[in-house]
Structure formats: C-alpha cells, structure tokens
Amino acid sequence: MIGKILLWTLVVLMPGAAISGCTPDVSRPTIGNAFRLNDPHGYVLDDRGKGASFDDGFQTIVLRTGRSVVLTGVEPVGGGEALTFGGAYLLGPDREIKLQQIVEPGTADEHIQLPVRIDADDSRKERQDFELVLQYEFKSVQTISARSGIRIEYSERGANYIQFLPSRLVICPHKMPADDTCSKWTDRMFPTG
C-alpha cells in the first residue's frame, strides 16, 4: 500500500516539476543576429556646445533572416559622458539617399517610430536596407567620450533578442592637452580601427 501511494505521488509531482524546469524565460532576451550593418564604421565629432543636437544617420541595417521581426528598441553603447541619447527612428528603403549623414534634428525624410515590424525580404522593393538614425544632444564635454556600438532589441516569433552592432563615434572636447590630439586618443581607444 505504501508503495502505491509513493508511486502515485511521484507520478503527480514529477510532470509539474519537469514542465516548470523546461519553460523558457521569455522575459530575458537572448543574443541574436537578425541584422547586419551595410558598412561598419567609425568617426570623430568635435564638441558643438552644450545643448546642440544632431541626428546620426550613418547606420544602415539589413535584415539578414528570412523571417519578419519587430524592432523594439535601440540604444548606444558608450558615449554618455558627452551626449544625451534622445531616441532612434528608421528611414525606410524608399528614402532619398543623401551624402550628409549628420543632420539637424527634424530635417530627415519621413521617419518610422519604434517599435516597427520589419518584413523579411520583399522582392518587390529595389533596396532592403533601413537607415537607423540616432538622436543626440551635447552635454558639457570635458573629456573624450566614445560610443563603441549600438544595442538593438527585437522580437521574432514571440522570443526577445538583443544584438550588438559595431558603430564607433568619438566625441572630442574643444580643449585637448597640448601634447595630445583627438586622433591619438581615438587610436588608443580603438586600436583595431
């Protein structure tokens, strides 16, 4: 009799334990690779004075997966000592291509606010890339500050992902030590380019 009770206890308790132990934690994003940069890059920008703002549109991203995703968030990695991040938006594949990629706020083409669904390759469109534009405002720049890249958050099929894209931006103050230059600091911060 005790053996039967013990067996029923194991049968009743074990399935619940197995299910709870195997349920994925969808609240924690995993590392993804749905996007690629068309042209990974870096550039140096001199301090423009506290309160000056600009939109950085150097990032051109392409969805590399065959499935649609929802882009839910974007944030810079680094650079917060010199710049306040004001948000991000996308310019779609139908945008006008311009030579100037750092523009005054609000002067860009019609932009798409996040979150936004990005559909998998659409053969009807000539281009598949999106321009990812980051909005910034200068703080009081006292020292060199650098952004090493951009963290993108997205969801695909109900799962959340994050992805790091290298996109370097170095901000230099107006007053540098006499024996130093911004380019020397940039080479020390990013020795591989």
Q: Please write the tens of the pLDDT for every residue from 119-129.
A: 876 545 556 78
Nearby residues of 60 by Cβ (< 8 Å), 6 or more positions away = 37, 38, 39, 129, 130, 131, 132
Q: State the pLDDT confidence band at 149, using cuts at 50, 70 and 90.
A: very high
Task: Write down the pLDDT at residue 9.
Answer: 36
pLDDT, tens digit (0-9, with 9 covering 90-100), for 137-147: 999 888 888 89
Nearby residues of 141 by Cβ (< 8 Å), 6 or more positions away = 47, 50, 81, 82, 171, 172, 173, 174
Q: State the pLDDT confidence band at 77, using cuts at 50, 70 and 90.
A: very high
Which is more confidently placed, 27 or 137?
A: 137
Measured between alpha carbons, how far is 37 from 60 in angstroms, rounded to an integer?
A: 6
Q: State the pLDDT confidence band at 160, using cuts at 50, 70 and 90.
A: very high
What mean pLDDT do residues 181-185 have?
Answer: 73
Q: How far from 66 is each of 40, 55, 153, 163, 185, CA to CA, in Å?
A: 22, 30, 18, 17, 41
pLDDT at 109 over 90: no
Nearby residues of 15 by Cβ (< 8 Å), 6 or more positions away = none
Choose the weakest-confidence range: 20-29, 63-72, 80-89. 20-29
Choose the weakest-confidence range: 35-39, 97-101, 166-170. 97-101
Measured between alpha carbons, how far is 186 from 101 in angstroms, rounded to an integer?
A: 21
Task: Write down the pLDDT at residue 106.
Answer: 56
What mean pLDDT do residues 86-90 have?
Answer: 91
